[in-house]
Amino acid sequence: MSSEFFTNFVYIISSVLFAFGLKFLGSPVSARRGNMLSSLGMLLAVLATLCGGHIINFQWILIGIIIGSSLGALVAVRTEMTKMPQMIALLHGCGALASVFVDWVAYQVHGATDLTNAITLYLSIVIGGLTVTGSAIAWGKLSEKITGKPILFSGQKWLNSAIVIAIVILGIMFIVNPARYDLFLIILVLSLFFGVFMVIPIGGADMPVVISVLNSYSGVVACTTGFVIHNTLLIVVGALVGANGIILSIIMCKAMNRSITNVLFGAFGNVVKKTGIDEKKEAKAINVEDAFLILENAKSVVIIPGYGLAVAQAQHAVRELSEFLEKNGCDVKYAIHPVAGRMPGHMNVLLAEANISYDQLMEMDAINPLMEGVDVAIIIGANDVVNPASRHDKSSPIYGMPIINADKAKTVFVLKRSMATGFAGIENELFYYDNCRMIFGDAKQTVQALVAEFKSSQ
Partner 1 sequence: MELIYLLFILVLSVFLGFALISRVPPLLHTPLMSEANAICGIIVIGALIAAGKDANSPLTIILGTSAVALAAFNVVGGYLVTERMLKMFKKKDTK
Subset of 14-33 contacting partner 1 (CB under 8 A):
14, 18-19, 21-23, 25-28, 31-32
Binding to partner 1 by CB under 8 A, coded x per residue (else -) over 68-107, reads xx-xxx-xxx-x-x--x--xx--xx-xx-xxx-xx-xxx-
As measured in angstroms, the least distance from the Cβ of 81 to partner 1 is 7
The distance of closest approach from Cβ of residue 288 to partner 1 in the complex, given in angstroms and rounded to an integer, is 27
Least distance to partner 1, CB of residue 232, Å? 6
Q: Which of residues 347-366 bind partner 1 (CB under 8 A)?
A: 348-349, 352-353, 355, 357-359, 361, 363
242 binds partner 1, rule: CB under 8 A: yes
The residue (of 55 and 164) whose beta carbon lies closer to partner 1 is 55
Identity of the residue, 31 or 452, whose beta carbon is nearer to partner 1 in the bound complex: 31
Does residue 230 belong to the site contacting partner 1 (CB under 8 A)?
yes
Single-letter residue type at 141:
K
Does 239 bind partner 1 (CB under 8 A)? Our answer is yes
* CB 127 within 8 Å of CB 120: no
What DSSP string runs through 374-409?
Answer: -SEEEEES--GGG-THHHH-TTSTTTT-----GGGS
Stretch that binds partner 1, among 176-184, 229-237, 383-391, 422-430 (CB under 8 A): 229-237
336 binds partner 1 (CB under 8 A): yes
393: exposed, middle or buried (Cβ count in 10 Å: 0-12, 13-18, 19+)? middle
Structural contact between residues 391 and 377, judged by C-beta atoms closer than 8 angstroms = no
DSSP code for 226: H
Angle between helices 115-142 and 207-228 (to 10 degrees): 150
DSSP secondary structure of 425-452: ----GGGGSTTEEEEES-HHHHHHHHHH
Q: Are 442 and 415 in contact (CB under 8 A)?
A: no
384 noted as active-site residue: yes
Q: How far is the CB of 91 from partner 1 (least distance, A)?
A: 4
List the catalytic residue out of 278, 290, 359, 384: 384
**Among candidates 195, 61, 75, which has minimal Cα distance to 143?**
75
Q: Contacts with partner 1 in 396-425 (CB under 8 A)?
A: none
Binding segment for partner 1 (CB under 8 A), chosen from 61-69, 199-207, 259-267, 443-451, is: 61-69
Query: What type of residue is 332?
Result: V
Is residue 338 a contact residue for partner 1 (CB under 8 A)? yes
Contact call for residues 183 and 170 (beta carbons, < 8 A): yes
Q: Which residues contact 377 (CB under 8 A, 6 or more apart)?
A: 301, 302, 303, 304, 335, 371, 406, 409, 411, 412, 413
Residues 197-226 that bind partner 1 (CB under 8 A): 211-212, 215, 218-219, 222-223, 225-226
310 binds partner 1 (CB under 8 A): no
CA distance 47 to 9: 12
- Which of 92/444 has CB closer to partner 1? 92
User: Shortest approach of partner 1 to residue 345 CB, angstroms?
Assistant: 3
User: Which of residues 107 and 268 has its CB atom nearest to partner 1 in the complex?
Assistant: 107
Q: Binding residue for partner 1 (CB under 8 A) from 318, 343, 367, 401? A: 343
Size of site (CB under 8 A) for partner 1? 107
Nearest to 437 by CA among 378, 368, 390, 387: 378
Q: Cβ of residue 75: shortest distance to partner 1, in angstroms?
A: 5
In whole angstroms, the minimum distance from the beta carbon of 255 to partner 1 comes to 9
Decide the pairing of beta strands 361-363 and 376-380: unpaired
Residue 2 or 57 having the CB closest to partner 1 = 57
**How many C-beta atoms lie closer than 10 Å to residue 163's C-beta?**
17
Active site residues: 384
